[in-house]
Amino acid sequence: MNYIPNILFAIALIIGIGYFANNIRKLFRNIKLGQDVDVSDNTSQRWKNMINIALGQSKMVKRPVSGFLHVIVYVGFIIINIEVLEIIIDGLFGSHRIFSELLPTSVYGFLIASFEILAALVFVSVVIFWIRRNVIKIQRFWKAEMKGWPKSDGNIILYIEMILMALFLVMNATDTAFQSMNSGNVISQFIAPLFSGLPEVTIAVIERSAWWLHILGILGFLNYLYFSKHLHILLAFPNTYYGKVKPKGQLDNLVAVTKEVKMMMDPDADPYAAAPEEDADEIPAKFGASDVQDLNWVQLLNAYTCTECGRCTNECPANITGKKLSPRKIMMDTRDRLEEVGKNIDANKGVFVDDGKQLLDDYITREELWACTSCNACVEACPVSIDPLSIIMDMRRYLVMEQSAAPMELNNMMTNIENNAAPWPYNQMDRLNWKNE
Amino acid sequence: MSEQLKVPTMAEYMAEGKQPEVLFWVGCAGSFDDRAKKITKAFVKILNKSNVDFAVLGTEEGCTGDPAKRSGNEFLFQMQAMTNIEVLNAYEITKIVTTCPHCFNTMKNEYPELGGKYEVMHHTQFLKSLLNDGRLTIEGGQFKGKRITFHDPCFLGRGNGVYEAPRDLIRKLDAELVEMKSCKSRGLCCGAGGAQMFKDAEKGDKEINVERTEEAMEIKPEIIAAGCPFCNTMMTDGVKAKDQESKIEVMDIAELIANADDL
């Protein structure tokens, strides 16, 4: 009978991790729906980016207040999770605070003291985050795309973190053996008196409950990630690695177009020649992107990594001046559509069945796409190297090259370039007239 | 224009069997836009004064394709790019300087893959190098002590990480360089990029150039310095829209340097 808690714990652990692993598998599959893209270049720069931007939080602290608070929560979560290792061993083998027996009291006390201080700091930071969202109502958290689930999601994460930190501290405060050790209980010793009037049995029950709720909460939170913007805590690392390493101003050149242009400009090319056989499958189904499968997998990884902080939208000149474009919405729409496509595949035994919808128009409107100035402010602002501009450009490419659906003034501009090699209707022969004016 | 500008073309150089030290890529705005032509001429005056051996393509130059590419028309972009690359390679060009950050970005970053590999410099970088080599001296002249702010062109600053060359040149004028609240990597766009120059803006509460002009007005500059013909147009229009023409002038860095020297 004594083994029931151990067995229950093992079951909870297997279900928690198993379900999470299953969702991660789905996540990989969905990301792989994107087009292939070569990211084998600049390996050392990529590692540097990951270490600086994700591990080192270099872009987060560009905004000092939220950056500082975020660093606390980030460091707190990483370090406090060492404690989860002890909890898992205790849970599986029925030990109690196994590390306190393995480590010298002073070392164990130092570790727990660090966890407690961090837990308290995380709790305070998370409360400030909540106040920023809900009381101060910082503008970027109240934009049009933040209504409904995204808004609730942001708050749910904060509530879960508050609860987890509180449970950890209560668990320590009600652990009478730990308190009597009087080493490492730097914060919990002040919480312990709250329970001092209660019978010993009740305190023990509270301690066990807090312990169980804490670890079940962590497993629950782990599984919440997939359904939440909070996935960034994992994906920020690969995303900063695979993020753009070229100058921000550089757009990719479409290789398929290069082939055609070269043929057009080759005086020896036979215009009536049939396409060579081996090229048949190299020709892309379409130019640009109208749906998520047309984007590359890094762009899809970008979408899952977005934590909807809105720093991009906050810097976007179009958004600042009241246009519909919001780079954050571009990422959220891409992710939501990708999730929809993923569910479609799940429901249809692994094959995507046309649902009459696409990313363009059903999620992202043309008005949003044409409002972009390609200024890269969103790309610069993103703390995890997301590139919303590349998606906007790929969708413009689809509109122009597949649908000839550019705004009329842009069509005029392009006609001018075709006719006289300038965006305005001036004769190329007059290009040097300024010299004598 | 008291003095005649010396603007040799590549065709003339070729006929004489000479190769210039640098090709000046004038760009469409610099060739045709009345405001931008003044920037072109100011830059040529500095080049002439510094005895830089340069040439232009003249009628052989054509749009780099930047506005087409950023509108989504990759075909037209690559047509323009390949046509230009053929001309540039035929003249065996190795070094290009341009007064337009859009041409600069496109030729520096997007041409190499298509066969056009050149050292491409923005004119502020080039002027800075002339200064470093002692070929150009900058004196404050009429700009001494003036409050000047620099509006970062997106394709020079964020796009390619060039923030200091233009600022170093302004400092050389003994002017008081003041920064807007969003500058350098956080610089606010003028509203012209991504081919917006050629169309009306989408519906919103405000024009982007007006927003940027208001940011500039907060720090009360006498001059908004620009490094891009499109930014120049947008900021000039913004200053007009805010009725600030009597207080704020919009000038390219090349114009500041040329005017300071009474060129």
Give domain status of residue A147, yes or no: yes
Give domain status of residue A159, yes or no: yes
Using CB atoms, which residue from A253, A381, A434 is nearest to B78? Answer: A253
Residue A272 in this model has a pLDDT that exceeds 90? no
Among the three residues A220, A242, A264, which one is the final residue of a domain in this structure? A242
- Using a CB-CB cut-off of 8 Å, the residues of chain A touching B210 are 321
CB atoms within 10 A of CB A247: 16
Residue A387 in this model has a pLDDT that exceeds 70? yes
Using CB atoms, which residue from A254, A377, A409 is nearest to B189? Answer: A377
Give domain status of residue A153, yes or no: yes
A192, A269: one domain: no
Q: What is the mean pLDDT of chain A?
A: 94
A214-234 pLDDT, tens digit each = 999 999 999 999 999 999 999
Amino acid at A231: L
In DSSP terms, which residues pair with B55 in a beta bridge?
B23
Does the beta-carbon distance from B159 to A407 stay under 8 Å?
no
Does the beta-carbon distance from B72 to A370 stay under 8 Å?
no
How many residues would you count in chain B?
263
A227, A269: one domain: no
Does the beta-carbon distance from B28 to A376 stay under 8 Å?
no
A122, A196: one domain: yes
Using CB atoms, which residue from B86, B113, B196 is nearest to A253? Answer: B113
- Using a CB-CB cut-off of 8 Å, the residues of chain B touching A260 are 75
Q: Are A359 and A337 in contact (CB under 8 A)?
A: yes
- Residue B1 has a pLDDT of 46
A191, A332: one domain: no
Tokens encoding A222 = 């782990």
* Nearest residue on chain B to A392, alpha-carbon basis: B72
Q: Which residues of chain B have a pLDDT value below 70?
A: 1-3
DSSP string, chain B: --SPP---BHHHHHHTT---SEEEE-HHHHHH-HHHHHHHHHHHHHHHHTT--EEB-GGG----SHHHHHHT-HHHHHHHHHHHHHHHHHTT--EEEES-HHHHHIIIIISGGGT---EEEEHHHHHHHHHHTTS-----GGGTT-EEEE---TTTTTTT---HHHHHHHHHTT-EEE--SS-GGGPPP-S-TTTGGGSPPPS-SS-HHHHHHHHHHHT--SEEEESSHHHHHHHHHHHHHTT-TTT-EEEEHHHHHHHHTT-
Does the beta-carbon distance from B192 to A373 stay under 8 Å?
yes
A185, A275: one domain: no
Confidence of residue A266 (pLDDT cuts 50, 70, 90): confident
Q: What is the ipTM of this complex?
A: 0.96
Q: What is the pTM of this model?
A: 0.95
* Nearest residue on chain A to B191, alpha-carbon basis: A373
A220, A348: one domain: no
Tell me which residue of A253, A258, A276 sits closest to A393, measured CA to CA.
A253
Cα dihedral: B175, B181, B187, B189 (round 10):
-100
Q: What are phi and psi of B251, to 5 degrees?
A: -140, 145
Q: Can you list the domains of chain B with their CATH numbers?
A: 10-131 (3.40.50), 137-260 (3.40.50)
A190, A315: one domain: no
Q: Most B CBs within 10 Å: which of A253, A260, A286, A437, as the mutation test of the B interface?
A: A253
Using CB atoms, which residue from B160, B198, B212 is nearest to A409? Answer: B198
Chain centroid offset of residue A199 CA: 47
A219, A259: one domain: no
Give domain status of residue A67, yes or no: yes
Residue A198 in this model has a pLDDT that exceeds 70? yes
A129-171 pLDDT, tens digit each = 999 999 999 999 999 999 999 999 999 999 999 999 999 999 9
Among the three residues A186, A217, A242, which one is the final residue of a domain in this structure? A242
Distance from CA of B244 to the nearest CA of A (A): 20
B60-107 pLDDT, tens digit each = 999 999 999 999 999 999 999 999 999 999 999 999 999 999 999 999
Alpha-carbon span A411 to B71, nearest angstrom: 9
- Residue A277 has a pLDDT of 58
Confidence of residue A282 (pLDDT cuts 50, 70, 90): low
Using CB atoms, which residue from A323, A395, A418 is nearest to B203? Answer: A323
Q: Most A CBs within 10 Å: which of B2, B38, B189, as the mutation test of the A interface?
A: B189
A144, A267: one domain: no
Does the beta-carbon distance from B26 to A370 stay under 8 Å?
no
- Using a CB-CB cut-off of 8 Å, the residues of chain B touching A367 are 202-203
- Residue A283 has a pLDDT of 58
A168, A209: one domain: yes
Give domain status of residue A49, yes or no: no
- Residue A281 has a pLDDT of 57
Give domain status of residue A195, yes or no: yes
- Residue A81 has a pLDDT of 84
- Residue A270 has a pLDDT of 75
Cα dihedral: A298, A286, A272, A261 (round 10):
-50
Mean pLDDT confidence for A64-83: 93
Distance from CA of A126 to the nearest CA of B (A): 27
A11-28 pLDDT, tens digit each = 999 999 999 999 999 999
Q: Are A239 and A300 in contact (CB under 8 A)?
A: no
Using CB atoms, which residue from B32, B73, B83 is nearest to A426? Answer: B32
A328, A360: one domain: yes
Domain count, chain A: 2
- Domain membership of residue A185 as a residue range: 4-31+63-242
Tokens encoding B21 = 């030290």
A19, A144: one domain: yes
